[in-house]
Amino acid sequence: GQQLNQSPQSMFIQEGEDVSMNCTSSSIFNTWLWYKQDPGEGPVLLIALYKAGELTSNGRLTAQFGITRKDSFLNISASIPSDVGIYFCAGLRSSNTGKLIFGQGTTLQVKP
Amino acid sequence: DTAVSQTPKYLVTQMGNDKSIKCEQNLGHDTMYWYKQDSKKFLKIMFSYNNKELIINETVPNRFSPKSPDKAHLNLHINSLELGDSAVYFCASSVRDRGRTDTQYFGPGTRLTVL
């Protein structure tokens, strides 16, 4: 089946450091999304990418849609304690069905 | 508040029972989804409805039956619950905007524990 390989699986960093995580696939996706999930909550959309090569920022977060349409990355600059959570990439092959394929998640811990 | 809401938040039940989880969205969206998140946090889509019509039905046991009485509601009924059904179930919704049905907003989840 379709899979997204997300790495790293977990990160433990110092407050103020920059963070980078990525997602790769063997299949082409037409849309890439990045979500964050806090404990006990549902995933919350951070950034949506619709075009190959697109680079989009949301505050300290920056994400890019890979040129090959098979990968995406998310950067977080100057991390703060509230950045703690699980970050998921998700890809959409067909916008008609809305069938999102999720990566395995990156668990981020930030040490104050 | 405008949001996707689910009830109950927690559900603990015995094996073999039948239970339902309700989902409502007041965002005016026309598409709703059910996802299952396992103990390893892996999220997998189960079902999707667009305007009360089933459009995605992944390989899910037929003990799981979604029901959409209207565009704003998508309920999940589970018969003969099994231990492996224990997970967190998320409802989500989205709008088909200019041909794109991708920005999905998730509910807070229902943690189901089958004993």
pLDDT value of residue A1: 54
Distance CA A63, CA A53 (A): 10
Q: Which of B33, B43, B101 sits opposite A95 (nearest CB)?
A: B101
Fill in the amino acid letter for B82: E
Q: Which residues of A93-111 are buried (b: 16+ CB within 10 A; e: fewer)?
A: bebebbbbbbbbbbbbebe
Fill in the amino acid letter for A10: S
Residue B16 falls in which region: left (phi positive, over 0), alpha (psi -120 to 50) or beta? left
Question: Stretch B63-86: mean pLDDT, rounded?
Answer: 94
A96·B101 Cβ contact <8 A: yes
Nearest CA in chain A to B97: A95
Structure-token pair, residue A92:
């959409």
On the question of pLDDT at B114 being above 80, the answer is yes
- Give pLDDT tens digits for A62-102: 999 999 999 999 999 999 999 999 999 999 887 566 788 99
pLDDT band with cut points at 50, 70 and 90 for residue B110: very high
- Give pLDDT tens digits for A17-70: 999 999 999 989 989 999 999 988 999 999 999 899 999 999 999 999 999 999
Q: Does residue A98 sit at the B interface (CB-CB below 8 Å)?
A: yes
Residue A46 falls in which region: left (phi positive, over 0), alpha (psi -120 to 50) or beta? alpha
Q: Which of A99, A104, A106 should one mutate to test binding to chain B, selecting the residue with the greatest count of B CBs within 10 A?
A: A99
B108·A96 Cβ contact <8 A: no
Residues of chain B positioned with their CB less than 8 A from the CB of A95:
99-102
Number of A/B CB contacts below 8 angstroms equals 67
Distance CA A33, CA A31 (A): 7
A17: closest CA of chain B, how far (Å): 25
A43·B99 Cβ contact <8 A: no
Burial classification of residue B62, based on how many CB atoms lie within 10 Å of its CB (0-12 exposed, 13-18 middle, 19 or more buried): exposed
Residues of chain B positioned with their CB less than 8 A from the CB of A48:
102-103
pLDDT value of residue B53: 84
Question: Stretch B90-112: mean pLDDT, rounded?
Answer: 83
Question: Stretch B68-78: mean pLDDT, rounded?
Answer: 93
A43: closest CA of chain B, how far (Å): 6
Distance CA A77, CA A16 (A): 8
Who contacts B61 (Cβ-Cβ below 8 Å, separation ≥6)? Answer: none
A11 near A107, Cβ under 8 Å? yes
Q: Which of B43, B57, B90 should one mutate to test binding to chain A, selecting the residue with the greatest count of A CBs within 10 A?
A: B43
pLDDT value of residue A84: 96
On the question of pLDDT at B113 being above 90, the answer is yes
